[in-house]
A and B are shown apart, each in its own frame.
Chain A
Amino acid sequence: MSTRLNVRKTYKLYIGGEFPRTESGRYYAVRGKGGELLANACRGSRKDLRNAVVAARKAQPGWSGKTAYNRGQVLYRIAEVCEARANELVDELRKAGSSAAEARKEIDAVIDRWVYYAGWSDKYPQVFGSVNPVAGPYYNFTVPEPTGVVAVIAPEDPALLGLVSRIAPAIVGGNTVVAVTSESRPLAAITLAEAFANSDVPGGVINLVSGMKSELVPWLAAHMDVNALDTTGVASDALPGVQKTAAENVKRVVHFDSALGFDDARLSQGPYAIFDFQESKTVWHPMGM
């Protein structure tokens, strides 16, 4: 009796709602805990990043122009699709070295985080907006608006919960994201991208590039069409250089201290994480008859 040969999965990038191979044609070996080969991941290039930023910029007006209610439903839909694919995502984390219990816990947290931020979509503007009692005959209000294109460097570990904890608050606020995945454990993120592609997230709202952070991060930090940079997954010795580069177009640089962990919801999620990727706009208008 012959055993059936399994069909392996090819892990690619996720850019503009599609799954292209890296234009560089390069790969790197992703290995499990015991050093066994898990897959050959794309070793993304700066050209891939540029394509991702173009896709993110193109998607930004449409995404931020959707109603808050609609954005909330899209995020909630991600949670639904993740729930349906939970076993697949758990398997990815187990292959990468997590125990069954750890993997299940992380995926549960990932799903719950999407639900949590889905609910913020039509609430954070009321928490962070204001009507300002100016001393004069003017109507004056302040509203939060998305910063624009946000680059997120995902932490190495937890590869999936770390990524989701940083991109969810960015996109619920109307930003579009280019994320560099965990270098050592990129596969689960690419599988998660299949959930994005099968939910209602418009192409280009979330873009994922795998590869060597040392190659990719400096280019993202320098990119003039990136408005904000989340350095959570940047190694501490590389951080000063990245921060320095980011000053070239006065990027907003946000850093979440991974040492705090991503399990404690009070520390690792909240509306302040949304507000980190918002600009405050104040509008004045005279009042009169």
Chain B
Amino acid sequence: MTTTTELETRERLTPGPASSSVVWEYAPSLEATDHVKVASRYNLFIGGKFVEPHSKKWFETINPATEERLSEVAEADGEDVDRAVREARRAYDKTWRKIPASERAKYIYRIARLIQEKSRALAVVETMDGGKPIKESRDIDIPLAAAHFFYYAGWADKLEYAFPNRTVSPVGVAGQVIPWNFPLLMAAWKLAPALAAGNTVVLKPAETTPLTALMLAEIIQEAELPPGVVNILTGAGGTGAALVSHNDVDKIAFTGSTEVGKRIQRALAGTKKKLTLELGGKAPNIVFEDAPLDQAVEGIINGIYFNQGHVCCAGSRLFVQESVLEPIIRKLGERIQTLRVGNPLDKNTDVGAINSRAQLERIQELVDSGVEEGAEMVQTSCALPSRGFWFAPTFFTGVSQSYRIAQEEIFGPVLSVLTFRTPEEALEKANNTPYGLSAGVWTEKGSRILKMAQKLRAGVIWANTYNKFDPTSPFGGYKESGFGREGGLHGLAPYVVLS
């Protein structure tokens, strides 16, 4: 039997857009793009030169906010992969592992500096090619990418201090496959430690976001790295598969979905290749009743809507202690109405475009499943542009643990809200997932933070904060979120052989 109180609570828990929406008007504040030159076509970066692909095929890359063509990039096939690996091997044998480590460091410092010099152009292109808000590419992606190169540059001639009582050698040629959510930053996470440790690289950027990697290729030319030390091959899944299975690659690093990660782990069975995987997540973000609720709400918002939710460590499962469910839901409902969704190049924009039509369809499909399974959906009432790929910031209440939206990675701006009564219940539910990349905890009680941090089975724990990254801070997953760490001293280990 439903009591009156329950009904009232239920009503209060589902704020309609009309009840709490306040329409904020902002004058457009567009980032200038006239200083940025995007070539009409890009070739493959192999052996220090831009060369035409063996396939003589190029494919378009578009701006997901407008669906307009930005450029076209080469489609690398097996022949190109082979050529790039040969150049990488030659550079490894002839130059990169032979030059003094202190000189290697200086090359990497140059890359860091050039990224800083060209940071605004890189930010603009990142935003145009991927759809993320300019304030994020400008303030987070690009500065962090430069910082990663700067950090690892310094390791190049200090490796013997990182691995006590062992002789440190590079692995050889690394094949690296990166995702579309943080294109340049992921390139930096992969390249910087590999180069510092003395490896040479063949890097494959994501199909939908190749442009900043190609600008990085130009930077690498400008930094005068020996030809072949870094090779960059654009393409789709087939290019990545050819790289992963190439016989003369010694190490594979992959960031992407768990499904593809498993495929790669299988493909490497029986080989001597080293492997690191940074895969999917379904992170719990746990709010206790004693948490500073306004701060927590900001953390929840940042945790799920940062980069349109295209974040492997996004806090996509919100666990709220029952006693504060009502204020949290109310505040969340109000707060999402103030998110500015729209032109990613507008400096006011909080939530940009979904990266691709395919991703938009995936998000829609999972959101539909949430509605069908019985969860209650709350969305912003903001107007979305008519062209491009968009999804309004969304959260679901009344979510059961078994719903697909509580189990599967959505990789979009969609939050599932669940509840708990005791810390033990929160832990039980939070850990009940095959993933283990990250988790958030919100409470004022220090001892509880430390205990929760210890018991959560995830590689990164944000306590009273969320989605923070730093080159000195190791990042990576437990369980099916992958293995190996990127960042910090730990991030060197995948790129060295100890003897």
- Verify if B381 is at the interface (C-beta below 8 Å from A): no
Instruction: Find out whether the CB atom of A282 lies under 8 angstroms from the CB atom of B498.
Output: no
A145: which B residues are within 8 A, CB to CB? 454
Q: What separation, in Å, do the CA atoms of A208 and B367 have in the docked complex?
A: 47
Instruction: Find out whether the CB atom of B476 lies under 8 angstroms from the CB atom of A132.
Output: no
Minimal beta-carbon separation of A173 from chain B (angstroms): 14
Q: What separation, in Å, do the CA atoms of A272 and B498 have in the docked complex?
A: 9
Tell whether A272 pairs with B166 under 8 Å between CB atoms, given A250-B261, A250-B480, A282-B459.
Answer: yes
Of B147, B166, B463, B474, which contacts A142 at CB under 8 A? B474
At the interface with chain A, which of B63-71, B223-231, B265-273?
A: B265-273
Chain A 229-258, CB within 8 Å of chain B: the 1/0 string? 000000000011111101111101000000
Q: What separation, in Å, do the CA atoms of A249 and B433 have in the docked complex?
A: 12
Which chain B residue has the least Cβ–Cβ distance from A272? Answer: B498
Which chain A residue has the least Cβ–Cβ distance from B478? Answer: A279
Please classify how large the interface on chain B is, using the bins under 10, 10 to 19, 20 to 34, 35 or more. Answer: 35 or more
Minimal beta-carbon separation of A218 from chain B (angstroms): 13
- Verify if A270 is at the interface (C-beta below 8 Å from B): yes
- Verify if A281 is at the interface (C-beta below 8 Å from B): yes
Of B266, B463, B470, which contacts A283 at CB under 8 A? B463
- Verify if B50 is at the interface (C-beta below 8 Å from A): no
- Verify if A28 is at the interface (C-beta below 8 Å from B): no
A252: which B residues are within 8 A, CB to CB? 483
Tell whether A280 pairs with B459 under 8 Å between CB atoms, given A241-B269, A243-B270.
Answer: yes
- Verify if A227 is at the interface (C-beta below 8 Å from B): yes
Q: What separation, in Å, do the CA atoms of A280 and B483 have in the docked complex?
A: 9
At the interface with chain A, which of B52-60, B302-310, B484-492?
A: B484-492
Which chain B residue has the least Cβ–Cβ distance from A279? Answer: B478
B460: which A residues are within 8 A, CB to CB? 281-284
Instruction: Find out whether the CB atom of B470 lies under 8 angstroms from the CB atom of A279.
Output: no
Instruction: Find out whether the CB atom of A135 lies under 8 angstroms from the CB atom of B470.
Output: yes
Tell whether A138 pairs with B483 under 8 Å between CB atoms, given A239-B270, A284-B460.
Answer: no
Instruction: Find out whether the CB atom of A250 lies under 8 angstroms from the CB atom of B464.
Output: no
Minimal beta-carbon separation of B175 from chain A (angstroms): 17
Most buried by A among B165, B461, B485, B490: B490
Chain A 210-231, CB within 8 Å of chain B: the 1/0 string? 0000000000000000010000
Tell whether A240 pairs with B270 under 8 Å between CB atoms, given A135-B147, A140-B473, A284-B468.
Answer: yes
Q: What separation, in Å, do the CA atoms of A133 and B151 have in the docked complex?
A: 11
Which chain B residue has the least Cβ–Cβ distance from A227? Answer: B479
B475: which A residues are within 8 A, CB to CB? 282
Instruction: Find out whether the CB atom of A247 lies under 8 angstroms from the CB atom of B266.
Output: yes
Minimal beta-carbon separation of A194 from chain B (angstroms): 34
- Verify if B434 is at the interface (C-beta below 8 Å from A): yes
A135: which B residues are within 8 A, CB to CB? 147, 470, 472
Within 8 A of A (CB), among B24-77: none
The 5 residue pairs across chains A and B that have the minimum distance between CB atoms? A240-B270, A247-B265, A243-B269, A244-B269, A134-B470
By a beta-carbon cutoff of 8 Å, the part of chain B in contact with chain A is: 147, 164-166, 258, 261-263, 265-266, 268-270, 277, 279, 434, 449, 453-454, 458-465, 468, 470, 472-476, 478-483, 485, 488-490, 498
